[in-house]
Amino acid sequence: MYNVLESRLINSLLDQDSSATLLAKELNLSMKDFTTAVEQINLKYHLPLIYRQQDKVAINQEILEKHSRIIKILSQLDNRIFDRSIRKKIILLILLMKKEYLPVEVFIAANQVSKNTVIADIRELKEECSAKSINISYNRRTGYFISGDELHLRSLLVSSLMDVLELNNSVLILYRTGLFDFTSVQFLRTKLEILEGKMNISFADDLIRKLPYTLFSIIKRIKQFQVDLKEFHDLKGTKEFITVKDLFWEFDFLKERDLLYLTFLVMSSNVIVATQYDSELECLLNRCTDQFIQAIEKNLVIQFRDDTKIKEDLIAHLRPAIFRVKLGLHVINAIADVFIEEYWYFYEAVVNHIHFLSPIFDQLPLSKDEIVLIAMIVMGNVTPTSNAKTPFTGAVICKNGRAISHLLADVMSDWFPNIHMSHIMSKRQFEYVKPEVDFIFTTIPIQSAIPTFMIQPFLSEDEKKQLIQDVLDTIQKDPNLKAKEVIFSITSLIPEESKNDILEALEGFFGQLAVPKQEKNSILHSVSQISIREEMEWQQVIYSSYEEVYSRGSITENYIMKCQQSFYESYTTQIISNEVLLPHSLPENGVLEPDVQIILLRKPLIAPNQQSYRMIIALAPGYENEHVPWLVELNKKLRVDTKREQIFNARTSEELFEKIK
């Protein structure tokens, strides 16, 4: 299906995201040819499988996980060989989700390594599991089997799966195992989204992706191994249990004990927005948290800037942590070691006083990653906050839970004292709320016309300096932001009723100083926006028409996908005149700059309804209707028969440009 170049490009992206500049160099391509190769891959699927944001290029995980046909094709190109620790996790997944004894060939196929390597991995795994009272037995005739305490086996299944899901394009690894039905996984995600509304919570982006796989694997194991678990009856009768029970009604093999376990599993997940659970633990949780806060303040000789907020933040984290610890699950905190190195002072204080929280965990020990998350919350609430007004607002978007998100917002506030971080959100919250801010700082790709900066939870000193410079450059180049900054600096000297007029005048002034832009009433300003082609296939209309618009940086891949969806459903209404198609979508779906591409076809395009079309106007409309005056004038020309024929009979792009500009 792919040529050699496309296969190499995909292979380069399977293991890790990359820089478009570096990857193009590695493949000996110009940036133009690299962009063409990416577009060709996306055209084959009619989906933006590979996305670019700034210089970053990666496989679109959301697209990949929602389309099993793409998973199947890409898995054939996935020849990654993992280190021993990951190979052992994959072996565990297979053992824990299969009831029968398994031959060594099953593990060879999943890990793509030799028989000797697999046997060595299993030998090491047996020793590790033996220390946890879990047994991996072997029979020459039938193969390998795992056994032990069911609660420990389920915890091992969840932790192994979570580790695999941390890997880049992990869904392809899961496909190798043959264990997962990806349609069912997406079905479980839909159920979790319903549960969010019923329980008034919001899972972190990272968890809403991983939890459906976890539920699928546990439900599959429960169906095969009916074991009585007696540890979870303290949730019986709660709102949470009733909600989970109602959602999973069609799994008729799930007994009450199994539904109680699933309730614990759901409640162990990190959330961005939390609600108080109907649990007797609440009183104990409040008391222990108060004692912990007082001890930390005394030890560090500090006063938290907001006693209510630190308590709310801690309890929001501790509620799911209680269930994680009881299930024997360990949260993954990828930046734990970096945090300890950078902020040992806070980490050590939390370690020395964590015993105040022990009663809520039944005296069970907490993992290092869990303790670091608590330390992050402590540190994030120590940093002094200024009540001073700022000229700009910003949103911080993070896929992880509250601890990392709020710490990141505090760090951004320190680096940018002139930007008020007014929103701390998950990606899903951002797409729903669409906050009006001046800047976006995000750890995951976001499609927006607002100036957006990709960041990591921890940046090196050089990366920090570069980010600050990039933000300053953006302010200097944007007339609206520059005007806002000036108005803010002299706000005390300006009467309130005059501010809007002065702001408008300044925006115009700085706009004149900036690089001249095309007048708003004309989005057609260059011959490069004209294409004359011999013919076009109906299935390729959107991707072919928007190629140039995308390459100019005027739209995002999401905009193309939205056009694709709407056009084939309602192409009969997306016309501007007889024989002229006008595909388009809403600006908020990914228009970064108003733009248009006109494609004149020598051979008419035949639609499914047998209507023929001789021209396509691939429109990227402006947020302020900048495109409307030009479209009105074009429509006038196309309604006159003689002018329309002159347009359709243009021989060159230059001739066509002169007739419709």
Q: What is the pLDDT of residues 85-112, one digit of tens each?
A: 999 999 999 999 998 899 999 999 999 8
pLDDT band at 500 (very low <50, low <70, confident <90, very high): low
Best-predicted range by mean pLDDT (145-159, 377-391, 406-420, 436-450): 145-159
pTM summary value: 0.63
Q: Is 269 or 179 the better-scoring residue by pLDDT?
A: 179
What does the pLDDT average to over 510-527?
Answer: 58
Average pLDDT, the chain: 82
Phi-psi region at 400: left, alpha or beta (left = phi > 0; alpha = psi -120 to 50): beta
Which of 536, 532, 511 lies closest to 600, judged by CA? 532
pLDDT band at 648 (very low <50, low <70, confident <90, very high): very high
Please say whether the dihedral angle defined by the alpha carbons of residues 324, 325, 329 and 334, taken in this order, is positive or negative: positive
Beta-bridge partner residues of 423? 395
Model confidence at 385: pLDDT above 80? no
Q: Which helix (H) or strand (E) holds 539?
A: none
pLDDT of residue 65: 82
Q: Is 407 or 220 the better-scoring residue by pLDDT?
A: 220
Model confidence at 161: pLDDT above 90? yes
Q: Comparing 4-75 with 281-380, is the CATH topology the same?
A: no
What does the pLDDT average to over 250-265?
Answer: 83
Superfamily of domain covering 281-380: PRD domain (1.10.1790.10)
Is the CATH number of domain 84-177 3.40.47.10? no
| % of the chain at pLDDT higher than 90 | 22
pLDDT of residue 517: 42
Contact 442, 431 (CB under 8 A): no
In the CATH hierarchy, which top-level class contains the domain 4-75? mainly alpha
Model confidence at 144: pLDDT above 80? yes
| Token code pair at residue 301 | 């000789």
Best-predicted range by mean pLDDT (5-19, 129-143, 626-640): 129-143
Q: How many CB atoms lie within 10 A of CB 551?
A: 17
Q: Is 93 or 399 the better-scoring residue by pLDDT?
A: 93
| C-alpha pair distances (Å), 78 with each of 13, 65, 110, 176, 442 | 10, 15, 11, 10, 29
| Rounded Cα–Cα distance for residues 634 and 351 (Å) | 70
| C-alpha pair distances (Å), 107 with each of 75, 118, 171, 643 | 16, 7, 17, 69
Best-predicted range by mean pLDDT (61-70, 220-229, 545-554): 545-554
CATH architecture of 527-660: 3-Layer(aba) Sandwich (3.40)
Domain residue extents for the chain: 4-75, 84-177, 182-269, 281-380, 392-477, 527-660
| Rounded Cα–Cα distance for residues 439 and 457 (Å) | 17
Model confidence at 512: pLDDT above 50? no
Model confidence at 519: pLDDT above 70? no
Q: Is 135 or 62 the better-scoring residue by pLDDT?
A: 135
| % of the chain at pLDDT higher than 70 | 87
Model confidence at 528: pLDDT above 80? yes
Q: What is the pLDDT of residues 10-30, one digit of tens each?
A: 888 887 777 888 888 888 989
pLDDT of residue 516: 40
pLDDT of residue 483: 62
Which residues are within 8 A (CB) of 291 and not within 5 positions of it... i.e. 6 or more apart? 356
Contact 428, 481 (CB under 8 A): no
Q: What is the pLDDT of residues 116-130, one digit of tens each?
A: 999 999 999 999 999
Fold of 392-477: Rossmann fold (3.40.50)
What does the pLDDT average to over 278-298?
Answer: 83
| Token code pair at residue 242 | 């009733």
pLDDT of residue 232: 56
Please say whether the dihedral angle defined by the alpha carbons of residues 297, 300, 304 and 309, taken in this order, is positive or negative: negative
| Rounded Cα–Cα distance for residues 136 and 294 (Å) | 47
Tell me, what amino acid is at 129? C
Give the helix ranges, DSSP H, for 99-228.
Answer: 104-111, 115-130, 150-165, 170-177, 182-199, 205-224
| C-alpha pair distances (Å), 539 with each of 44, 49, 559 | 10, 17, 17
| C-alpha pair distances (Å), 533 with each of 557, 575, 597, 605 | 23, 19, 13, 11
Q: Is 460 or 221 the better-scoring residue by pLDDT?
A: 221
User: What single-letter DSSP state applies at residue 366?
Assistant: P
pLDDT of residue 2: 65
530-533 and 271-273 as β-strands: parallel, antiparallel, unpaired?
A: unpaired
Q: What is the pLDDT of residues 548-586, one digit of tens each?
A: 999 888 899 889 999 998 898 888 878 888 899 999 888
Model confidence at 276: pLDDT above 60? no
Model confidence at 459: pLDDT above 50? yes
CA R_g for the chain: 29
pLDDT of residue 486: 62
| Rounded Cα–Cα distance for residues 395 and 438 (Å) | 8
Model confidence at 282: pLDDT above 70? yes
What does the pLDDT average to over 310-335?
Answer: 80
Model confidence at 408: pLDDT above 70? yes
| Token code pair at residue 92 | 């565990």
What does the pLDDT average to over 586-603?
Answer: 90
What does the pLDDT average to over 640-644?
Answer: 85
User: What single-letter DSSP state applies at residue 606?
Assistant: E
The residue length of the chain stands at: 661
